[in-house]
Amino acid sequence: MKAGLEIHQQLATGKLFCDCPTDLTETATGSVLRRLRATGGENHQVDRAAAFQAARELTFRYEPGPSSCLVELDEEPPHPLNDEALDVALSIALLLEARPLDEVIVMRKIVVDGSNTAGFQRTALVAVDGHLDVGPKRYSIASICLEEDAARKVGEIDHEVRYRLDRLGIPLIEIATGPEITSGAEAREVAAEIGALLRATGRVRRGIGTIREDLNVSIPGGARVELKGIQELRLLPRHAEHEVARQRLLLGVRDGLLARGAQVPSGRISDVTELIPSAGTGALPELVRHGGTVRALSLPGFDGGLRSPAGESERLGRELADYARAAGVRGLFHSDEVPLGPLDAAFADRLRGALGLAPSDAFVLIGARDAATAERALALVRERAAMALEGIPNETRDPLPDGRSRYSRPLPGRDRMYPETDVPPVPIAPSRLERLRASLPERPEIARARVARQHGLPDPIVRQLQQAGDLETFEALAARAHLPAGVARLLTQDLPAAVDIAGEAPVDLALETLDGVLASVEDGRIAKEGIPPVLVQLLRGAPDVPAAIAGAGLAPMSGREDLDALAETIVARNDSVVRSRGVEAFSPLMGDLMREVRGRRDGKEVASALRRALERRLAGPGSAP
Amino acid sequence: MTGPIEGDPWERLRGLAMGQRIEIASADGRTWRGTIVPPHELSGERVIQIKLESGYNVGVRVSPSDRVTVFEAPAPAANGTASRAAPRSTAGAVTSATPTVALLLTGGTIASRVDYRTGGVRPVEEEAEILSFYPDLDRDGPVRVVPVLDRLSEDIVPADWQLLARRVASVFSEGARGVVVAHGTDTLAFTAAALSFLLEELPGPVVLVGAQRSPDRPSSDGFTNLTAAVRVARTAEVGEVLVLMHAGLSDDRFAIHRGTRVRKMHTSRRDAFRSLNGAPVGEVVGDTITFRAEMRAPSGRGVRLDDRLDGGAALLWFQPGLEPTRAEAFAQGLRGLVLAGTGLGHVASVHLPWIRAAVARGTVVVMTSQCLEGAVDPYVYATGRELLRAGVLYAGDMLPETAYVKLLWALARTRDAGAARALFLEDRAGEISPRRDYAEPP
């Protein structure tokens, strides 16, 4: 396979074309309803992807709030390009040894799915021809762009999509690699290294959804397919592998169809509503009873070509259904699924008779509330079926959590780009580049080597810290005389575990807070086992470390007596275990005792207390047989 | 000529046609390949803009040592990956009995597209282009497109109002049921007032409409504004000049304003137009058109047009510190002057001498208020009483811009200042009213 990555990372500056804050918010101060139309650019051409989106005839409800102004609402022209964001993008371009343009021109990229109130996303090419070395291999960086993030989709009912405007206009840097990636694992490595480079600038936003990856995948004889918006690095390999398998399968299906003489479907779409057994059960009879309509399309020579080949999970039928869904229908029925629900063999025969089909032909049925929707859906199915005889269409697909993907729209072409005339072009003066070059951050690989050497940490740990964007925090804490190993453990293990437990929207912990947590361990107020519960309390909003310790139920245990008493209680409570297993009871009881101690004491201390308690019990009067 | 360019390529490059495919290779090894697109007028020195295969435009500073290659014939506009802008639709339900709406084009954002050279918007020149922007325009019935002007509205002059009024009259007499005038929004209210006075009787509505976002943008308000305006022109039982624009920021509600009572009150919002001294006379929500005010019924006798306007009036916005000599010089030679004064209708009392002199010379001096909302009143303060004694004509609740247009109209109908003053105060098109309803501010 050949793959290229596009990394989109939000920058931690103000918005790109206005002066709004960039905080995401649950507050909506109003609601505005809009429609969008596909329009042509400089040469009057309507982009295929844009026309496709517009055909859905959606309405959009936008929710303004404290993080948006008239610019996001498309009620005021954009302000000039945010200089600070451009500086960050140029710095990243220099780090990637790319060549900045002489003049940055803001373009409008037509997107009429409602995610941009204007109907286009503003984007500017900043630099080209960079490269990045990951291990022994050099990857080309084709382009570095600065663009505005889209509005945040918060709901969809029927033909109305709801968006919140807080995210719209947050600057994104888009870094596109060349197609030199040859495996999913490699894609993940490259993405991780680019992520580390971005974070090295200290000017990127952190947290869920602030970095998104698009993966462009093709195989020999296949097509360029863009998997858009993968949010987690660890999913890259799975998506890459699945896409390769899907493309291979579809090439196989094409060969099979051609071998059995399948032809480009040109047949007209027929109204078969009358043929649906209206008394039957299932989606189609239900629809017909409620006044819906059912249309059929014949696919000459496609019989057997729509189902999954043996041992495969993907199939052409699913691809056809995805195209149909883009027209706003729930799905479709096809002849390779017979018998299924209302489509029993007898019904299928009647339908074949009515449509005049040969046994080698397939058919597709689509039900909808109105004829126009059904026909639009089947026209898309016909288009997709014709492509199946050619190979694989170039398209944009939405990644699904299980590693599969779903068709989203055709791959947009150059016709969707035209200049944003409301924003003046920005010349990039050589003096500006010199100023930025003089203050570039340390490159990630250099920072890694330095930190590993300075603090005696193994490279994988340093790499882990860096990829999580925690290297700076690590160095700051280590500089406060905490043990490097302890700091690394806090950042790479305890903190992620605590974030998992604390759940959504965790508070970002200040350096002082982390410093306080480490200090509490070092002066014995809590044991290191107590770190995660204390962090959870802090993430949930505990005002300071002492409050978090109290909130976690880790009020200090005074002296050895308390611990011994607790150990005695545990041993007494488990008398039967102690009697049957003797000193072997140590292991099961240690777990119980650690739970009771809840991190207030060091594990070694707890173990010796338990040993003492066991010995006393086994030696005592009640223990003799 | 194709192939490499010898020597400094800049002059040759500047002369190449838009759409020409070229390659620029610089000494430092970077290469750009793409088609030439119009440069932005704010582009830097020796910068050429080319469109890359990715669709991005880039600005390339051309140095004398760059090697430039010009390729074969310009690439054709269509590249096969896209469809033409939607063609004009053929409406199935329309019969020959469906009344025709005439759409008069004057330029402005609603009938403009981006000019990629200047970076601004420019008016469309042909009928086909406007129909390519608004393919659904004639969905409910025939629309006759009549180009009249192609000007941004800041360039429109009173002679254009007269031309437009004559065109409105002629399309009505040629059978139009209603008329829509697509107009730039900056001075749309002036034109609306002028048509209100010049077209004395109308057999159907004349609806002025504009857009705050150009139609080359998917989010343009032009699409919905125009559709609603055509609907009003086709069906409303009204013989008046109206303005239709967004009622709020949403694309589903439209306000109908009286042509003499409306003003652009925001530089960029879709709902920039507001009726002052009263609510909009009507609204369009979905397919429903509602009029709240009493409207003049269509005339049964066709159009009555009197297109005379006098050029000798002007509008002056008073401000603290305005020197009387400057104002006097401005008023020199005018037959009429509208003052936009402060509050209830005042200017600094140092202006009284030249105003007295101007009135004595036969100039009609009219007082309106910068407050826009409310009526002027000369009796409350001493300055007002002085101005009244000086012969200043108080214009009630007439908007300053409407008063300016109306003065051009009145002066054209009489040489006598006294008669012009009387004509000016007569309510002709709902522009002046003796009472103002109580209403909460919007």
pLDDT tens for A512-529 read 889 999 988 888 788 888
B77, part of any domain: no
pLDDT digits (tens, 9 = 90+) for A355-401: 889 999 999 999 998 888 899 899 999 999 999 999 899 899 999 98
Residue A276 confidence (pLDDT): 83
Rounded to an integer, the average pLDDT of B296-307 is 95
Q: What is the pLDDT of residues B11-51, one digit of tens each?
A: 888 888 878 889 999 877 788 888 888 777 777 788 888 88
Same domain, B299 and B367: no
Asked whether the beta carbons of A85 and A13 are under 8 A apart, the reply is yes
Given a cut of 80, whether residue B240 has pLDDT beyond it is yes
Specify whether the CB–CB gap between A192 and A221 falls below 8 A.
Answer: no
User: B348 and B292 in one domain?
Assistant: no
We report the CATH number of the domain holding residue B25 as 2.30.30.520
Q: What is the mean pLDDT of residues A540-562?
A: 78
Pair (B222, B292) in one structural domain:
yes
Summarize pLDDT for B366-403 with one digit per residue, the tens: 999 999 999 999 999 999 999 999 999 999 999 999 99
Q: Which long-range contacts (CB under 8 A, 24 or more apart) does A407-411 make?
A: A407/A319, A407/A322, A407/A323, A407/A325, A407/A326, A408/A228, A408/A326, A409/A49, A409/A52, A409/A53, A409/A326, A410/A48, A410/A49, A410/A52, A411/A49, A411/A224, A411/A225, A411/A226
Residue A46 clears pLDDT 70, i.e. is over it: no
Please report the residues numbered 59 through 98 in chain A whose beta carbons come closer than 8 angstroms to any beta carbon of chain B: 59, 70, 73-77
Q: Note which residues in 256-285 of chain B have CB less than 8 A from chain A.
A: 267-270
Q: Residue A623: its pLDDT value, please?
A: 43
- The CA distance from B259 to B26, in Å, is 60
Q: Which CATH number fits domain A257-392: 3.30.67.10, 3.30.930.10, 3.30.1360.30, 1.20.120.1760?
A: 3.30.1360.30
Q: Are residues B290 and B327 in the same domain?
A: no
| A39 close to B (CB below 8 A) | yes
Active site residues of B: 109, 185-186, 264
Judged by CB atoms within 8 Å, which residues 425-444 of A form the interface with B? 425, 427
Residue in B with minimal Cα distance to A110: B218
Residue of A nearest to B81 (CA): A48
State whether A74 and B219 contact (CB < 8 Å). Answer: yes
Q: How far apart are CA A31 and CA A33, in angstroms?
A: 7
Q: What is the pLDDT of residue B220?
A: 92
* Residue B399 in domain: yes
Q: A600, A530 in Cβ contact below 8 A?
A: yes
Which residues on B lie below 8 Å from A372 (Cβ)?
A: none
Q: Are residues B199 and B287 in the same domain?
A: yes
- Residues B211, B348: one domain? no
Mean pLDDT of B116-132: 63
pTM recorded for the entire structure:
0.83
- Note the pLDDT of residue A88: 97
Place of tokens 């488990």: A574
Please tell me what DSSP assigns to residue A493.
I
Looking at the structure, do residues B61 and B38 belong to the same domain, yes or no?
yes
Interface of B with A in 157-216 (CB under 8 A): 212-213, 215-216
- Check pLDDT > 90 for residue B80: no
pLDDT at residue number A348: 84
Q: Is residue B114 part of a domain?
A: yes
Specify the residue for token string 């059929």: A296
Q: Does A55 touch chain B (CB under 8 A)?
A: no
Q: Are residues B295 and B201 in the same domain?
A: yes
User: Which has the minimum average pLDDT: A65-79, A296-310, B421-435?
Assistant: A296-310
Is 80 exceeded by the pLDDT of residue A52? Answer: no
The chain A residue lying nearest B76, using CA atoms, is A43
Q: Which tens digits make up the pLDDT trace of B212-230?
A: 998 878 899 998 999 999 9
The identity of residue A451, as a single letter, is V
Is B25 at the interface with chain A, CB within 8 A? no
- Which among B264, B286, B305 is the end of a domain? B305
Question: Of residues A429 and B112, which shows the higher confidence score?
Answer: A429
Q: By residue range, what is the domain housing residue B228?
A: 101-305
Instruction: Show residues of chain B in contact with A41, CB under 8 Å.
Output: 216
Q: Quick check: is B440 in a domain?
A: no
Kind plus residue range of the DSSP H or E element containing A460: helix A459-467
Q: Are residues B297 and B317 in the same domain?
A: no
Same domain, B349 and B390: yes
Per the prediction, chain A carries an average pLDDT of 87
* Record: contact B40-A425, CB cut-off 8 A: yes
Based on the domain organization, do B283 and B338 belong to the same domain? Answer: no
Query: Is the Cβ pair A416, B55 closer than 8 Å?
Result: yes
Indicate whether A558 pLDDT > 70: no
- Each residue's pLDDT tens digit, B41-73: 777 788 888 888 888 888 888 888 899 998 876
The domain tally of chain B equals 3
Same domain, B268 and B385: no
What average pLDDT does range B280-306 have in this prediction?
95
User: Per the domain annotation, does B402 fall within a domain?
Assistant: yes
